[in-house]
Amino acid sequence: MKKLWCVCLLGFLLLFPACAAMDIAGQSQENKFVLLASTIGPIDAGIVGALEEAFEKETGIRVRHVGAGTGAALKMAEGGQFDMVLAHAKVLEEKFVKDGFGTQRVPLMYNDFVIVGPSADPAKIKGMKTAAETLRTIAAKKVKFISRGDKSGTHVAEMDLWAKAGIKPAGAWYVVYEKGSTGNVPTLKYTNEQQAYTVIDRATHLSIRNQIKVGILVENDEAMLNFMSLIPVNEKKFPRANRAAAMQFVEWMTAPEKGQTIIRDFGKDKYGAALFFPNSDAWRKSQGK
């Protein structure tokens, strides 16, 4: 028995360094991985992938995303499986932080929403100066309008514009796209098929403008600015969250000479115009704003 005990002890001592090494290696791998719950629009536009690739190349830390509408992305993050969220619906973001799921809203970038429609323009809205005037006209003429209707950031922004117009849209002319939760690109393509109107972000329209006939009819209303934020999850609520790597990603994304420069230049070579604009505190400070 004594000899058997010695053999077992020796085996454990020989195995222990390997187990410890596996644990350290596993922990190291975990520390080099960040999982992001992201709104779909910037994924479809390609900027999320571009930022993740550049960050990994520089730091060795992998960031992988799961896309959903902002409401769904925040709901997913409430389950504790994500390290951060990229969202664009201020009211929903503030509630996420207030409820203790996130630590803070970190300004990242913005673009804007536009109102698109068919070239025939049956509602005669082209060139109108405000979204409120435009939506009131569409509602009065009962011309087909497509909504994502999925509590995404785009849908929240659309409903806010209707509220500012003093209208609760309803009726056969107001169509909630049954696959709206699949994102802005499918919604815009469906709007094109229906030759209808919709509110969509400019980046989505630019990214597929050669595939569709509906065009931008109303734009440049300050009420249609589309601000996006990063929200690290609360490590006190989710102890397994990779806080260190997530904050390194936030710092890199908001640095003027790193993520913010990529955001500034993204799309110019392919579309001839920027799809997004940098908006971090550090960027605005570097520009004297």
Q: For the chain, which residues make up each domain, given as ranges? A: 26-110+228-286, 111-224
Per-residue model confidence (pLDDT) at position 35: 97
Could you tell me which residues come within 8 angstroms of residue 231 by beta carbon, excluding any fewer than 6 positions away? 77, 84, 85, 86, 87, 93, 96, 97, 102, 103, 104, 105, 106
SS3 (DSSP) at 187: helix
Q: What is the pLDDT of residues 106-127, one digit of tens each?
A: 999 999 999 999 999 999 999 9
Of 19-23, 179-183, 195-199, the one with minimum mean pLDDT is 19-23
Per-residue model confidence (pLDDT) at position 273: 87
Q: Which two tokens stand for residue 116?
A: 């698109």
Residues in a beta bridge with 199? 115
Percent of the chain having pLDDT more than 90? 87
Average pLDDT, rounded, for the chain: 90
Element (H, E) at 231: strand 225-232
Q: Rounded CA gap, 286 and 288, in Å? A: 5
Q: What is the pLDDT of residues 5-44, one digit of tens each?
A: 333 433 433 333 333 333 333 334 456 899 999 999 999 9
Residue 101 has pLDDT above 60, yes or no: yes
Q: Which two tokens stand for residue 192?
A: 């094109």
Per-residue model confidence (pLDDT) at position 30: 54
- Given this chain, do its domains 26-110+228-286 and 111-224 carry the same CATH topology? yes
Q: Which two tokens stand for residue 149?
A: 């209707």
Q: What is the pLDDT of residues 233-258, one digit of tens each?
A: 999 999 999 999 999 999 999 999 99
Q: What is the CATH number of domain 26-110+228-286?
A: 3.40.190.10
Q: Rounded CA gap, 39 and 45, in Å? A: 11
Per-residue model confidence (pLDDT) at position 18: 36
Residue 1 has pLDDT above 50, yes or no: no
Q: What is the pLDDT of residues 39-96, one digit of tens each?
A: 999 999 999 999 999 999 999 999 999 999 999 999 999 999 999 999 999 999 999 9
Q: What is the pTM of this model?
A: 0.84
- Measured between alpha carbons, how far is residue 165 from residues 87, 116, 128, 175 in Å? 24, 17, 14, 18
Cβ atoms 117, 134 nearer than 8 A:
no
Per-residue model confidence (pLDDT) at position 73: 97
Fold of 111-224: D-Maltodextrin-Binding Protein; domain 2 (3.40.190)
